[in-house]
Structure 1
Amino acid sequence: MDIRPLHTEQDYNDALKVLSALVDADPAPGTAEGDHLEILATLVENYESHHFPMELPDPIEAIKFRMEQEGLSASDMRPYLGNLNRVYEVLNRKRGLSLAMIRRLNRGLKIPAEVLIAEA
């Protein structure tokens, strides 16, 4: 097992090839191949987070995405955003999210606070 940091794009591409083969082989956890897969996945994830950072999604789009995931309607959003009129105002970008709304959305729907406080 040749494990080393990924410094270049070539290192990254080589690691992806090996990682793909390991995933296809589906080694058991705790085996040498399983450990190799776990370590290589961590190295690839670290490389990607530094070289291909993802921007936070738009807060309203994140809410709509979670609604779609959970099969929630506008009425279902009342505990998080207030009365139905306010729900539509928020979803249509006519009203911003308040701190109380952000807290409720974060606790209830598990939408990360850093996503909800981002500028729309």
Structure 2
Amino acid sequence: MKTVTHKEYIEANLSLETLLKEVSNDTLEDASQMKELIEVSDVIEQYEAINFPIGLPSLQEMIELRMFEMGLKRKDLAILLNTSASRISDYLNGNREITLNIAKGLHQKLNIDSDIILQ
């Protein structure tokens, strides 16, 4: 696969703006504008994947997000994971590595992806 240059990326973005005004949900897939839209989108996606990669969130960020979503305070999370609030603080501040039991609890009870836990 050919590497996309910055110039090609800029041109693709400009084309995308124009095409989005011309293409709608009713546009047929084999229409030339739709084909061009897909090609332009692929160029943009390829360039951004190399130059602006989005990594996994940190485990601390993910725990804090789940706590927010579930309305949990640190003491609530400690009860849920059968540990102490100070231990939760140590995990969130990066002062302590999580144990296997805590990792399992984060995965099962907070639905945190194992890839994030193991990174």
TM bucket normalised to smaller: 0.5 to 0.7
Evaluate the alpha carbon distance shift between residue 13 and residue 63 of structure 1 in structure 2; reply closer, same or farther with a 3 A threshold: same
Q: What is the CA-CA distance between 1:22 and the residue it aligns to?
A: 3.7
Q: Contact 2:27–2:34 (CA<8 Å) still a contact in 1?
A: yes
Q: Which has the larger radius of gyration?
A: 2
Amino acid at match of 1:53: P
Amino acid at match of 1:113: S
Amino acid at match of 1:64: E
Which moves more between the two structures, 47-56 or 25-34? 25-34
Q: Contact 1:66–1:109 (CA<8 Å) still a contact in 2?
A: yes
Q: Deviations over 1:31-85 (max 9, x none)?
A: 2345544453343222211222234433212321333344433214643x43342
Amino acid at match of 1:28: N
Q: Identity over aligned residues, as a percent?
A: 26
5+ unaligned residues in a row in structure 2: which ranges? none
> Structure 2 length normalisation: TM-score?
0.64
The root-mean-square deviation of aligned C-alpha atoms, in Å, is: 3.1
Q: Contact 1:106–1:113 (CA<8 Å) still a contact in 2?
A: yes
5+ unaligned residues in a row in structure 1: which ranges? none
Q: Contact 1:19–1:41 (CA<8 Å) still a contact in 2?
A: yes
- What is residue 8 of structure 2 aligned with on the other side? 11
Give me the whole-angstrom Cα distance separating, in 2, the residues matched to 1:110 and 1:20.
Answer: 38
> Structure 1 length normalisation: TM-score?
0.63
Q: Contact 2:4–2:43 (CA<8 Å) still a contact in 1?
A: no
Evaluate the alpha carbon distance shift between residue 6 and residue 92 of structure 1 in structure 2; reply closer, same or farther with a 3 A threshold: closer
